[in-house]
């Protein structure tokens, strides 16, 4: 029989094994110490907790399972530490430690880019998603506008459908790079 704890991570409640909770708590403490961003540490920690909640939800699905040490190890191994070093096991708990599985696949998502926008960030976000030059996408939208009103309506549809990449994790997903602590730190200053 194992003791479980209910915790709120990134605005979502999870039921987690006590040993997994201790490991996650120690990881978050060490992460906060190594961040070195001063006043922006709170924003980075908030983004990190949101990403941890997303990864827990992906791992568990909608089954209502308990987060165990294997899931925590998987998440910690993927995220690493803010200085780019992998999270070592120097903060191991006395309980069972499962072998760390391979990381999560990198997914690329369509967002509007608030860092490189002329009107709404649609062209810049679409260019990052398609791996094309932003200027080319902007020219295509202008040409489509003059050929008929299709360019205008396409822009409006993308503006409504694509969310803005506000958080560092979303900016990583927009570029198709892994959402690790090191990569999130790169984008936290642009918020």
DSSP bridge pairs for 12: 9
If one counts every other C-beta atom within 10 angstroms of the C-beta of residue 179, the result is 24
How would residue 152 be classed by pLDDT, with cut points 50, 70 and 90?
Answer: confident
pLDDT at 190 over 50: no
pLDDT at 24 over 50: yes
pLDDT at 106: 64
Q: What letters, b where the CB count within 10 A reaches 16 and e where it falls short, cover 99-129?
A: ebeeebeeeeebbbbbeeeeebbbbbbbbbb
pLDDT at 47 over 60: yes
Mean residue pLDDT across the chain: 76
pLDDT at 171 over 50: yes
- DSSP label at 88? -
Helix or strand (DSSP H, E) at 183: helix 181-188
pLDDT at 67: 81
The mean per-residue pLDDT over the stretch 176-186 comes to 75
How would residue 85 be classed by pLDDT, with cut points 50, 70 and 90?
Answer: low
CA 51 to chain centre: 5
Model confidence, pTM = 0.51
How would residue 40 be classed by pLDDT, with cut points 50, 70 and 90?
Answer: low
């Amino acid at each position: 029989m194992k003791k479980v704890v209910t915790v709120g991570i990134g605005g979502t409640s999870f039921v987690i094994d006590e040993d997994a909770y201790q490991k996650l708590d120690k990881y978050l403490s060490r992460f906060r110490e190594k961040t070195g961003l001063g006043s922006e540490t709170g924003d980075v920690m908030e983004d990190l907790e949101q990403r941890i909640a997303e990864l827990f939800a992906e791992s568990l699905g909608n089954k209502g399972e308990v987060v165990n040490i294997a899931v925590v190890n998987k998440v910690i191994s993927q995220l690493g530490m803010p200085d780019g070093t992998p999270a070592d096991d120097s903060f191991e708990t006395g309980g069972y430690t499962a072998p760390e599985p391979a990381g999560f696949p990198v997914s690329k998502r369509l967002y509007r880019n608030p860092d490189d926008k002329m009107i709404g960030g649609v062209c810049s976000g679409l260019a990052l998603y398609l791996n094309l030059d932003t200027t080319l996408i902007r020219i295509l939208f202008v040409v489509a506008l003059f050929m008929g009103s299709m360019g205008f309506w396409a822009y409006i549809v993308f503006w409504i459908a694509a969310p803005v990449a506000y958080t560092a994790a979303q900016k990583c997903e927009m570029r198709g790079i892994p959402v690790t602590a090191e990569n999130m730190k790169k984008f936290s200053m642009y918020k």
